[in-house]
Amino acid sequence: MEETLPVLVLISEDPRTSHRANEALRIALGVAAGENEVTVVLTGLAIHLLDAETDDLVDGDDIAKYRATLAKLGIPFHIERAAIPADAREWNAEGHATIPVSREEVAGLIAGSRRCLMF
């Protein structure tokens, strides 16, 4: 059986100001539901997708549901190290697996992907 490369969904949009971050999570979930391996990468202000309080996010209720479903599927968030807040107490992945990655590692994830969707 041949190995298939994952589809990478890179999210950099700020979910406090844009619907695009929520749409990116929805699309990542749809890709995973189609029996495709998916890699989700958060860079910059997209880190707010993991805020403990989702009321301040544009689509907070949907984001919470999508995060929970991705966690149940065992799909971790790869998070750009530079985006992780100094006071990580304001940030909560709700038990969701997270993998801190450097910019170079993000580039490697992109290079090792079958397709890339960037938001």
Higher pLDDT, 97 or 119: 119
8 within 8 A of 37, measured Cβ to Cβ: no
Query: pLDDT tens digit string along 62-90?
Result: 999 999 999 999 999 999 999 887 766 55
Q: What percent of the chain has pLDDT over 90?
A: 71
pTM value is 0.90
pLDDT at 96: 78
Q: Which residues pair with 40 in a beta bridge?
A: 9, 77
pLDDT at 35: 82
Q: Which domains does the chain have, with CATH numbers?
A: 7-118 (3.40.1260.10)
40 within 8 A of 30, measured Cβ to Cβ: no
Query: pLDDT tens digit string along 30-43?
Result: 999 888 999 999 99
Query: pLDDT tens digit string along 104-116?
Result: 999 999 999 999 9
